[in-house]
Amino acid sequence: METLGIIAGIAAFFYMAFIGQKTLKEWWRDRRWDAITPDVQVTGKLANSIYHNLPQPDYGQFIGRENELMQVMRLLRPYPHSQHALVTIDGVGGVGKSALALEVAHRYLRDNDIPSGEKFDAIIWTSAKQTVLTAEGIVSRKQVLRTIDDIYTTIAVTLEREDIIKAPAEEQSELIRKALTQQRALLIVDNLETVDDQAVLEFLRELPAPTKAIVTTRHRIDVAYSIRLQGLPEADALKLIEKECEKKGVALKAEEAQKLFYRTGSVPLAMVWSIAQMGFGYDVRAVLTRLGNPSNDIARFCFEGALAGIRGKPAYKILSALSLFAIEASREVLGYVADLPELDRDDGLVELEKLSLVNKHGSLYSFLPLTKDYVIAELAKEVELRNRFADEK
């Protein structure tokens, strides 16, 4: 009994020393807050400032996209100027969705000409991006956003609401909604297509007023005002090429810059990646040739996941059929070439549009040169495998 008394005394000493007057449950919540906050950079809020956790842009000078940028900012105006709570920026991988969303957010931070009624009290950035493309290749990154709880945590930390983090899980949803109704907040969800938690989409569908949200995704969703990004206009693309060449110490002739513009379909990431390769010492012609190789990093980063999900489906047959045309083709022609019934043809085209693999212009469909090169190379690879298999038999 004496031994048990000593053990109890020691336990009590350590409890008071490390936990104090709190219950174990309260102590654990405090520990959870302390563990979470170092991973989220928050600026705090001074007079006339904004709560935010925005990352620094990695693109240097933002080039082009002024029309899209102004369109997003118009949609983010408060009611009754805009009745849209959720805006999606969609498009193929590498087309600049995240950069546009981040530029919009930073303009709210730094632009003093925005009317005070249109400014935000808080701007919250969450990212579900699993990989990034660098000059060295595709690099995995820590995925901060996986579930609705991750969004709740980021909102609470950015707003410096320690009480929400420490609240029981079943109360956090209501506390988050109440906190958002008390200020004009902008929530940005980057790379939504890699989030599997259906609760995230439900939360975005039912955003509490006056909250606004921007979602970037390769897969179009039907609950928002959608802005589809395509390649940059030629003048902006050539300006981006010029600026990147200056940064990387690469000298390109005018005709070489023009070829890069056409071969990449003016997809910003493809142009930046190509110039980075040249900066490493690769010959211009070699880099341009590699753009059509389905095994290169830029092609895999932009298209591999999307194509893997449609192989064997009507959408893949339509994509194969579209690759036979120089520029674009109609719905009827694509269905005929792909030898698909009308319903399968329409389902396939809808899926391709959702995946940002094709663009619709009136009644005609087309895709970026980079997408076309990748699809043609994939088809050639399949034919080679089929022939090899036939020879082996």
pTM for the model stands at: 0.81
Residue type at 59 in one-letter notation: Y
Alpha-carbon separation of residue 75 from 155, 312, 353 (angstroms): 22, 39, 23
pLDDT band at 27 (very low <50, low <70, confident <90, very high): very low
Closest CA to 73 of 63, 84, 60, 61: 84
Alpha-carbon span 89 to 354, nearest angstrom: 12
**Mind spelling out the 3-state secondary structure of the chain?**
CHHHHHHHHHHHHHHHHHCCCCCHHHHHHHHHHHHHHHHCCCCCCCCCCCEECCCCCCCCCCCCCHHHHHHHHHHCCCCCCCCCCEEEEECCCCCCHHHHHHHHHHHHHHCCCCCHHHCCCEEEEEECCCEEEECCEEEECCCCCCCHHHHHHHHHHHCCCHHHHHCCHHHHHHHHHHHHHCCCEEEEEECHHHCCCHHHHHHHHCCCCCCEEEEEECCCCCCCEEEECCCCCHHHHHHHHHHHHHHHCCCCCHHHHHHHHHHHCCCHHHHHHHHHHHHCCCCHHHHHHHCCCCCCHHHHHHHHHHHHCCCCCHHHHHHHHHCCCCCEEEHHHHHHHHCCCHHHHHHHHHHHHHCCCCEEECCEEECCHHHHHHHHHHHHHHHHHHHHHHHHC
Q: Is the pLDDT of residue 174 over 80?
A: yes
pLDDT at residue 25 tops 50:
no
Mean pLDDT, the chain, whole residue set: 84
Q: Which of 124, 128, 125 is nearest to 191 (CA)?
A: 128
Q: What's the confidence (pLDDT) of residue 19?
A: 46
CA dist 198 and 203 (Å) reads 9
Q: For 134, phi and psi rounded to 5 degrees? A: -115, 175
Closest by CA to 203, choosing from 53, 86, 40, 36, is: 86
How crowded is the C-beta side of 157, counted as CA atoms within 13 Å? 22
Q: Which residue has the higher pLDDT, 297 or 13?
A: 297
Question: What value does the mean pLDDT take over residues 315-325?
Answer: 91
Higher-confidence position of 142 and 249 = 249
Per-residue confidence (pLDDT) for residue 67, from 0 to 100: 96
Return the minimum-mean-pLDDT range out of 224-233, 301-310, 326-335: 301-310
Asked if the model's pLDDT at residue 11 lies above 80, the reply is no
Span 39-56, average pLDDT:
68
Task: State the average pLDDT over residues 278-304.
Answer: 83
Residue 132 has pLDDT above 90, yes or no: no
Least reliable range by pLDDT among 75-79, 186-190, 387-391: 387-391
pLDDT reading at 101 higher than 80: yes
Mean pLDDT of 325-330: 90
More confident site: 19 or 270? 270
Confidence of residue 41 (pLDDT cuts 50, 70, 90): low
Say whether pLDDT at 12 is over 80. Answer: no
| Residue 336 contacts residue 199 (beta carbons within 8 Å) | no
> Is residue 150 predicted with pLDDT exceeding 90?
yes
Per-residue confidence (pLDDT) for residue 125, from 0 to 100: 97
pLDDT category, 84, cuts 50, 70, 90?
Answer: very high
Task: Please report which confidence band the pLDDT of residue 363 belongs to, taking 50, 70 and 90 as the band edges.
Answer: confident
The bridge status of strand 364-366 relative to strand 328-330 is: antiparallel
Does 151 score more than 50 pLDDT? yes
Is the model's pLDDT at 391 over the cut of 80? Answer: no
Residue 179 has pLDDT above 50, yes or no: yes
